[in-house]
Amino acid sequence: MALKIALAQLNLAVGDLDRNASAICSAIADARAGGADLVALPELATTGYPPEDLLLKADFVAGNLESLEEIASAAVGITAIVGFVSSTGSKLGNSAAICRDGKVESIYTKQVLPNYGVFDEQRWFTAGSELVISEIAGLKCGVSICEDIWSSEGPARRLAAAGAEVLININASPFHRNKGQERRELLERLASETGLKIGYVNLVGGQDELVFDGGSIFAAPDLVARAEQFREELLFVEVDRGTAGGPMSADPDPVGEVYRALELGTRDYIEKNGFAGVVVGLSGGVDSALTATIAVDAIGSDRVVGVTMPSRYTSTATRDDALELAARLGIRLIELPIEGPFQAYLDALAEVFEDRTPDVTEENLQARIRGNYLMALSNKFGWLVLATGNKSEMAVGYSTLYGDLAGGFALIKDVPKTLVYELARFRNGGEADTGPIPLATLERPPSAELRPDQLDEDSLPPYAILDPILERYVELDMDSGAIVDDGFDPGVVERVITMVDRAEYKRRQSPPGIKITRKAFGRDRRLPITNHYIGTGRETAG
Amino acid sequence: MALKIALAQLNLAVGDLDRNASAICSAIADARAGGADLVALPELATTGYPPEDLLLKADFVAGNLESLEEIASAAVGITAIVGFVSSTGSKLGNSAAICRDGKVESIYTKQVLPNYGVFDEQRWFTAGSELVISEIAGLKCGVSICEDIWSSEGPARRLAAAGAEVLININASPFHRNKGQERRELLERLASETGLKIGYVNLVGGQDELVFDGGSIFAAPDLVARAEQFREELLFVEVDRGTAGGPMSADPDPVGEVYRALELGTRDYIEKNGFAGVVVGLSGGVDSALTATIAVDAIGSDRVVGVTMPSRYTSTATRDDALELAARLGIRLIELPIEGPFQAYLDALAEVFEDRTPDVTEENLQARIRGNYLMALSNKFGWLVLATGNKSEMAVGYSTLYGDLAGGFALIKDVPKTLVYELARFRNGGEADTGPIPLATLERPPSAELRPDQLDEDSLPPYAILDPILERYVELDMDSGAIVDDGFDPGVVERVITMVDRAEYKRRQSPPGIKITRKAFGRDRRLPITNHYIGTGRETAG
């Protein structure tokens, strides 16, 4: 009475019905070859996740049902549980097909549809209500889908009461920092409470702003098997009434897992969108250095081009650091000084600007010339422009629309500045100056270098203070009073909140980037641009 | 046994708790002064609509409850029905308070929560289940909220069965073309089927991408009263068991109502965000001419600045048209030739571009110089940049990121090119060359003028063919086969669909603009950027 389960964490692509079906059929064959009785595939495996409004296209849903037929016919000599879109009348379900003997034997439909954070599942799907239990190799196996196990209203307890011994939960669960630990604790608790042995299979891969980290696990009730994060794997687990076991990957490193999430998210955005290479502006600062380093790790140094775009305000030191970084990474470096266009703009605008003193206008012009250079290289050579802004800047609007915010992908846009430094040091592998990112870059005070002697701290609180305030306001929705109660200066808190609220219009036009925190900007945090509430009580602004 | 109802269509601002409460209290006083027994205010009147993730802030919800106290205390000598956010434990409701004798007498909570199109109400709210009926001036009045009456699962039939004679439906219903007629037909049918006399009060005003058009109505069962669109009004309706009546506004003009929606949406975006003025690039083409004209109608000619930015490819004719338009509108015109920066870019890029032939890169550079000029004027003088792209261009990606897509607000982004011409002719008031937009602008074939003798039709199907294909693909989610069945050339249909799918990344970074069709780009149509499904069957691209 032993059941061998294969948890197939695959990297599937949204909309690629044919290739997803092929990958699923291959995984079924591999699982069978490995002796598995049961193979579990991710949530919405046929379509990729999230398919969003592709689900409103009847031909897309029909295509996914054709995929399911093909997959079911491959499920011979093994039971396969695969996520797909079911269609009943005008209603769609986020469903799992239990396939056996070459056909679909039963269908379970997700009962708890997440509609918060990045999730909009109630936009497309109708919740199911029926339980499904299949006997496989003598054990009674129930099925659930992702959010189902996070809610007390999900089917797990009802399945246990109905006699299920094993629960297969199929997922497309996006990464954020430390989410693996949250999943583990949930699974161990649920397994302990219900007596179910629980297999959790997760999607892997990048999809626009989301990264799915894999890290599939099995709890019985303690964790007995865990797949790697950020790569495809077939995790085999042996289960019988008494025990369960399988391979166990190492505990994730809290900074390293973020680095790898950024690497995979970047690689998949580039590859799934078919770009030959990428181009990054290198300022000599840590944001662009980290961005370029991740890009090289993701797709190789021969497909990454750096551009240094010095201005009249660029110091020799920062320019040298950009050259040094490019040399250490082994990437091509293009130099395009911005002085020529900058002077041409100033000349053209002189009459209309009359005798107004230079201000942020001239700073933004320089940033936008750099954006234009990068976009021109992108247009001419087909390279994706990687924007280099971090989450702290995105939050307070310390960035230039169409300037440093220009680009197709802003891979560190959800990384707070303090974590940017941690990631750079992690990748460098220590404090010796032997990693890819020059130590001088890490040690120099941050500056935009858009006017003489400019430092970030002239305009912003130190990042060691700014970032914890931002975490409380943006990620935890704490109000100003509660943040002040945590020990921050009231004036600084109000200033930061006001900056965050006023910068919504910039974020709305920023490139996509990779979610790595509990709450990213973008679809994770949906605030109006026109907004008279300033988050510090009932005062009004605007 | 007569009931006098006031439907108070107010222009409320998202997040402006204090000012909204004041406006609501004033409307209550005005309704009482006008002899009303009952005054109905819009859905979520306290917070403005849609408050989005402001609802996740506990202090915001608490502030809205303070507003309700203030409003209830003003409801003396009259019954007020007002939309607000109710809070029970951790659950929020989209609710209506029935206020009488200075306090909240009962609360109805919306039962049908829309979660499609632009709506995400299930993200924040829990549906209610109880009916509320109040006796007012001897008539039994039930309450419902917006979507409630569009669903057969809503409370209307149950209210009628429970003895209600009048139904007050409070709304925040965004405009699209012809929506007034849809609402009228629904109300007349529902009133006829249930025997209820139905009052429908709607919000008015612009909020980011949405315009609420007011146009409040009363059906008994035929339409007996209708307020104006696009402005605040207190619509008084006299109701007794047998009859009902009130003022009736004229039928809307199908093109004129779109013009007024754009005008109000633009005005409110400018005023609610506190801009002193706006700046528009004038190309001599119809898109920029219409944009500037709407802006002048919205905020006056003294707050609108035009900029003509001729290039080596600009014809004398288009430049003259831009000058003529500015003269007719009475706006300031700034001239900023782009040749200087363009040559400076070409010089700077010459080495890296080597001997590559000019292509879209050089065209985009010119568009981006114009974007930079406009943003520089915005930065220096605090003007909002109005982008001028239309929906046809947005759909197929016939536009330059950070170039003609640069700006804070793209007011005609949901207007197909063919409708741009209709709106221009509507505003001109006829075919004589006496309106604001020069006839020459309307008669010249559309061109981006980014290379010699360029015409839109070199790159795109004629707009008379393109626009109907786009309507079918974008607004109606028809697949290619169904579009071809409507009589379009299969090759053209496939080409258009491919262009639409591939341009998603550009739309993601475009400025907000005003929804005027059934389905706008933006939160109305949520598609992945990384998407291997190309909408023409099961083929894959990528």
Instruction: Tell me the whole-structure pTM to 2 decimals.
Output: 0.96
Q: What is the pLDDT of residue A540?
A: 37
As a whole number, the mean pLDDT across chain A is: 95
Number of H helices, E strands in chain A: 17, 19
Q: What is the pLDDT of residue A429?
A: 94
Q: Domain of residue B380: give its range.
A: 258-456
Q: What is the pLDDT of residue A461?
A: 95
How far apart CA B221 and CA A443 sit, in angstroms, is 75
CATH number at residue B430: 3.40.50.620
Shared-domain flag, residues A202 and A285: no
Shared-domain flag, residues B359 and B433: yes
Q: Which is catalytic among the residues B146, B197, B363, B515?
A: B146
Per-residue pLDDT reduced to its tens digit, B197-219: 999 999 999 999 999 999 999 99
Q: Which is catalytic among the residues B110, B197, B272, B417?
A: B110
Residues of A in contact with B120 (CB under 8 A): 115, 120, 123, 526
Q: Do A262 and A412 form a contact (C-beta atoms < 8 A)? A: yes
Per-residue pLDDT reduced to its tens digit, B392-411: 999 999 999 999 999 999 99
User: Residue A501: pLDDT above 60?
Assistant: yes
Q: Which is catalytic among the residues A99, A121, A141, A146?
A: A146
User: Residue A415: pLDDT above 90?
Assistant: yes
Does the residue B102 lie in any domain?
A: yes
CATH number at residue B215: 3.60.110.10
User: Residue A542: pLDDT above 70?
Assistant: no
Of A198, A393, A18, the C-alpha closest to B532 is: A18
Q: What is the pLDDT of residue A538?
A: 40
Judged by DSSP in three states, A136 sits in strand
Nearest residue in A to B340, CA atom = A344
Shared-domain flag, residues B201 and B66: yes
Shared-domain flag, residues B375 and B449: yes
Judged by DSSP in three states, B528 sits in coil
Yes or no, beta carbons of B57 and A532 under 8 Å apart: no
Does the residue A492 lie in any domain?
A: no
Of the pLDDT bands very low, low, confident and very high (cuts 50, 70, 90), residue A458 is confident
User: Residue A449: pLDDT above 90?
Assistant: no
Q: What is the pLDDT of residue B129?
A: 97
Q: Do A369 and A340 form a contact (C-beta atoms < 8 A)? A: no
Q: What is the ipTM of this complex?
A: 0.95
Residues of B in contact with A269 (CB under 8 A): 530
Of the pLDDT bands very low, low, confident and very high (cuts 50, 70, 90), residue A432 is confident
Judged by DSSP in three states, A477 sits in coil
How far apart CA A93 and CA B205 sit, in angstroms, is 37
Per-residue pLDDT reduced to its tens digit, B278-296: 999 999 999 999 999 999 9
Give percent of chain B above pLDDT 70.
Answer: 98
Yes or no, beta carbons of A19 and B60 under 8 Å apart: no
Place of tokens 């940033």: A367
Residues of B in contact with A353 (CB under 8 A): 380
Residues of B in contact with A510 (CB under 8 A): 509
Shared-domain flag, residues A319 and A401: yes
Number of H helices, E strands in chain B: 17, 20
Shared-domain flag, residues B241 and B262: no
CA distance A333 to chain B (A): 11
Yes or no, beta carbons of A375 and B364 under 8 Å apart: yes
Cβ atoms within 10 Å, residue B321: 26
- Judge whether B146 counts as a catalytic residue: yes
CA distance A103 to chain B (A): 22
Of A289, A379, A361, the C-alpha closest to A328 is: A289
Q: Do B18 and B60 form a contact (C-beta atoms < 8 A)? A: no
A62-80 mean pLDDT:
98
Of B103, B97, B100, the C-alpha closest to B132 is: B97
Q: How many domains does chain A have?
A: 2
Of A58, A375, A534, the CB nearest to B368: A375
Q: Do A19 and A47 form a contact (C-beta atoms < 8 A)? A: no
B226-233 mean pLDDT:
98
Residues of A in contact with B16 (CB under 8 A): 532-533, 540, 542
Does the residue B481 lie in any domain?
A: no
DSSP string, B382-401: -PEEEE---HHHHHHT-S-T
Domain-ending residue, one of A431, A451, A471: A451
Q: What is the 3-state secondary structure (H, E, C) of A371-411?
A: HHHHHHHHHHHCCEEECCCCHHHHHHCCCCCCCCCCCCECC
Per-residue pLDDT reduced to its tens digit, A291-332: 999 999 999 999 999 999 999 888 888 889 999 999 999 999
β-pairing, B79-88 vs A210-213, is unpaired
Of the pLDDT bands very low, low, confident and very high (cuts 50, 70, 90), residue B1 is low
Q: Do A473 and A497 form a contact (C-beta atoms < 8 A)? A: yes
Per-residue pLDDT reduced to its tens digit, A41-58: 999 999 999 999 999 999
Does the residue A533 lie in any domain?
A: no
How far apart CA A154 and CA A133 sit, in angstroms, is 15
Shared-domain flag, residues A15 and A73: yes
Q: What is the pLDDT of residue A433?
A: 87
Does the residue B287 lie in any domain?
A: yes
- Sequence letter at residue B429: G
Domain-ending residue, one of A197, A216, A246: A246
How far apart CA B100 and CA B81 sit, in angstroms, is 9
Shared-domain flag, residues A155 and A291: no
Give the mutation candidate from A500, A531, A536 for the B interface (greatest B CB count, under 10 A): A531
Does the residue B135 lie in any domain?
A: yes
Least confident among A103-117, A380-394, A430-444, B112-126: A430-444
Shared-domain flag, residues B401 and B306: yes
CA distance A330 to chain B (A): 19
As a whole number, the mean pLDDT across chain B is: 95
Q: What is the pLDDT of residue A241?
A: 84
Least confident among A202-206, A448-452, B266-270, B360-364: A448-452
Domain-ending residue, one of B456, B476, B499: B456
Shared-domain flag, residues B169 and B268: no
- Judge whether A43 counts as a catalytic residue: yes
Q: What is the pLDDT of residue A535?
A: 63
- Judge whether A146 counts as a catalytic residue: yes
The dihedrals phi and psi of B267, each to the nearest 5 degrees, come to -60, -50
Residues whose CB is less than 8 angstroms from the CB of residue A536 and which lie 6 or more positions away in sequence, other chains included: A479, A480, A494, A497, A498
Of B273, B360, B406, the CB nearest to A379: B360
Does the residue B501 lie in any domain?
A: no
Does the residue A318 lie in any domain?
A: yes
Judged by DSSP in three states, B218 sits in strand
DSSP string, B165-201: -EEEEEE--B--TTHHHHHHHHHHHHHHHH--EEEEE
Of B345, B356, B511, the CB nearest to A372: B345
The token pair at A252 is 């994730």
User: Residue B542: pLDDT above 60?
Assistant: no
Residues of B in contact with A55 (CB under 8 A): none
Helix axes B286-299, B256-272, angle to 10 degrees: 60
Shared-domain flag, residues A283 and A220: no
CA-based torsion, B431, B435, B440, B443: positive or negative = negative
Q: What is the pLDDT of residue B362?
A: 96
Shared-domain flag, residues B340 and B442: yes
Of A233, A235, A231, the C-alpha closest to A223 is: A235
Q: Do B394 and B411 form a contact (C-beta atoms < 8 A)? A: no
